[in-house]
């Protein structure tokens, strides 16, 4: 029995550079937009640092903890009364940071760091941004309808449609 290392044993499973760059850039957008209070800024910055380390090292656990920090900053900014449009932008950026990191980590584990996967990574991010934009527009319409006195049933149906749309995209 040979103890010589094979190519499979030496595969570098870190994510590609494009996924790392997109995850960190989107996380930075989340931090900049949601840093309306000192606490939200601090939580967001900690989340961004952990996302950066997690994605760069290919650690799903660190990436998810950092993403939770980004979403925590978003929630703190919302509680502080930040306007809805910046909050929707920050929420979309947080989702892009999470999704780009998860996708990049998965590609890194399957194909390796050296694989030419930039096109696939950017296509995935493009779809995520498109879906996030649609959900943000629907979210703003729901917010606007609620503030103009529309019936609660219509708002509930719009929110339910957005949730079903998001669920369908995940499948």
pLDDT digits (tens, 9 = 90+) for 122-140: 898 999 899 888 888 888 8
Compute the average pLDDT of residues 16-40. Answer: 93
Question: Residue 149 phi/psi, 5° resolution?
Answer: 85, 25
pLDDT score of 158 more than 70? no
Q: Return the structure tokens found at 83.
A: 């306007």
pLDDT tens-digit map of 43-97: 999 999 999 999 999 899 999 999 999 999 998 998 888 888 898 899 999 999 9
Question: From CA 40, how far away is CA 23, in angstroms rounded?
Answer: 19
Residue 144: pLDDT above 60? yes
Report the distance separating Cα 43 and Cα 76, nearest Å. 9
Higher pLDDT, 143 or 150: 143
To the question of pTM greater than 0.85 for the whole model, the response is no
Query: What number of residues does the chain have?
Result: 171
Residue 171 — pLDDT band, cuts 50, 70, 90?
Answer: low
C-alpha torsion angle, residues 131, 133, 139, 141 (rounded to 10): -120
- Phi, psi angle pair for 61, to nearest 5°: -60, -50
Contact yes or no for 28/49 (Cβ under 8 A): no
Q: Give the pLDDT of residue 2.
A: 47
Q: How far is the C-alpha of 27 from the C-alpha of 32, rounded, in Å?
A: 9
**CA 140 – CA 132 distance, rounded (Å):** 12
């Amino acid at each position: 029995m040979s103890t010589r290392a094979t190519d499979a044993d030496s595969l570098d499973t870190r994510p590609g550079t494009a996924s790392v760059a997109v995850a960190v850039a989107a996380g930075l957008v989340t931090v900049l937009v949601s840093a309306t209070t000192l606490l939200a800024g601090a939580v967001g910055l900690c989340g961004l640092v952990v996302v950066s380390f997690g994605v760069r090292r290919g650690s799903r656990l660190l990436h998810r903890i950092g993403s939770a920090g980004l979403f925590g900053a978003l929630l703190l900014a919302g509680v502080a009364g930040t306007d809805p449009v910046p909050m929707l932008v920050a929420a979309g950026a947080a989702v892009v940071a999470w999704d780009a990191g998860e996708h990049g980590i998965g590609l890194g584990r399957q194909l390796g760091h050296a694989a030419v996967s930039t096109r696939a990574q950017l296509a995935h991010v493009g779809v995520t941004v498109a879906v996030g934009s649609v959900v943000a527009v629907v979210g703003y319409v729901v917010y606007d309808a609620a503030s103009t006195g529309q019936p609660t049933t219509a708002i509930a149906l719009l929110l339910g449609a957005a949730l079903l749309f998001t669920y369908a995209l995940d499948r």
